[in-house]
Chains A and B, each alone.
Chain A
Amino acid sequence: MTSGTTDFEALLREALAPVDPPADLAQRLELTLVNLTELAQDELESWELSAMRDPRNWVRPAAAALIGTTAGTALVVLRVRARHRARRAGSGSLRELAAGTLQDIAEETRRVLPDR
């Protein structure tokens, strides 16, 4: 009886053998993940650079740097995350999504940091 069950389970294990993913899936996925991290970094850097070219923006990044990981930044992150989540549902491409998210960061930073 027990051996019958054991035999059946052995058959089940054979029938449900693990399936190797296609090689191109692994490559594509790794590329996507690398692009995701690089894209986010590149976009952020270029946004920072363009913002820094305008002297009127110098106060805010300086204040942001001072604030560091305090509540203001946390608030920006939370708000941006919430909008990112909402946007993700309707977004066509990753780049579109990243661009939108970066815009949110800029807007929220402006709102949270003291206006001077």
Chain B
Amino acid sequence: MGDSDGSKTKVELDARFTELYRAHLRDVYSYAYYRVGNHHDAEDLTEQTFLQAYRHFERALRESNGRPLRPWLIRIAHNLAANFYRDRSRKPESAIEDAGVISSVHTTESLVEGREELQQILAGVAQLPDDRREALIMRFALDMDNREIARALGRTDGATKVLLHRAIRQLEGIVATPEETQG
């Protein structure tokens, strides 16, 4: 009995992982891209995230109790990105270092190009502390709600709400004084 159950489970697992992968490839890539600031590293980070997720998928499914797995995926990407900076002695601050470069590869390319205010915002995002920047990426690029962000960052819902609020306020302050962002 164990054998047929086991192989069926494996097939089901692969099918579910494929679903997860297809549903969230764009999310993981967007997160990686805004986190590391260039396509090459974002591709690496995305690939590593899914390989890592594949290895631990069964356990994640078991422990998720039916909750969405997107926060888990983004948390993997978040941890890998942290290692990425540590291993290569890179400063996270260099991510999204060139708002022009980022705007040129947006899906909404024409929207950002030539709109100084959006470029200022991207430059401002790059100046935020890591946790605030990440929270903003999750909220605005991935459209995650507070609960999902809290799970991805390993914080409480309340702490996440405060984090987002402060991130937006700080960013507003940065954008309001553009000479600082460009200096």
Chain A partners chain B: yes
| CB contact list, A41-76 vs B, under 8 A | 68-69
Q: Is the CB of B118 within 8 A of A14?
A: yes
Knowing A19-B33, A25-B46, say if A33 contacts B21 (CB, 8 Å). Answer: yes
> Which A-B residue pairs are the 9 nearest by beta carbons?
A21-B29, A15-B121, A16-B141, A16-B140, A17-B108, A15-B118, A18-B30, A19-B33, A19-B30
Q: Is the CB of A21 within 8 A of B106?
A: no
A85 (CB) vs chain B CBs: closest residue: B55
- Dominant secondary structure at the A interface: helix
Q: Is the CB of B172 within 8 A of A8?
A: yes
CA distance A13 to B6 in the complex (A): 45
Q: Which residues of B contact A (CB under 8 A)?
A: 2, 6, 14, 17-18, 21, 25-27, 29-30, 33-34, 39, 42-43, 46-47, 50-51, 54, 105-108, 111-112, 115, 117-119, 121-122, 125, 136-137, 140-142, 168, 171-172, 175
Least CB distance from A39 to B in Å reads 13
Knowing A11-B118, A12-B171, A14-B112, say if A21 contacts B136 (CB, 8 Å). Answer: no
- Dominant secondary structure at the B interface: helix
A94 (CB) vs chain B CBs: closest residue: B51
Knowing A11-B117, A14-B111, say if A21 contacts B125 (CB, 8 Å). Answer: no
Chain B residues with CB under 8 A of A16: 34, 121-122, 125, 136-137, 140-141
**Contact-residue bracket for chain A:** 20 to 34
CA distance A14 to B108 in the complex (A): 8
Knowing A17-B111, A21-B26, A36-B54, say if A68 contacts B2 (CB, 8 Å). Answer: yes
Chain B residues with CB under 8 A of A115: none
A81 (CB) vs chain B CBs: closest residue: B55
Can you list 23 pairs linking A and B with CB atoms under 8 Å apart? A11-B121, A12-B168, A13-B140, A14-B108, A15-B119, A15-B121, A16-B141, A17-B106, A18-B27, A18-B141, A18-B142, A19-B30, A19-B34, A19-B105, A19-B141, A21-B43, A29-B21, A29-B47, A29-B50, A33-B50, A33-B51, A36-B51, A36-B54
Neighbour of A32 across the interface among B47, B112, B118, B122, CB < 8 A: B47
Q: Is the CB of B46 within 8 A of A21?
A: yes
Least CB distance from A9 to B in Å reads 7
Least CB distance from A2 to B in Å reads 13
Chain A residues with CB under 8 A of B34: 16, 19
Chain B residues with CB under 8 A of A29: 21, 25, 46-47, 50
Chain A residues with CB under 8 A of B108: 14, 17
Least CB distance from A50 to B in Å reads 22
Chain A residues with CB under 8 A of B50: 29, 33
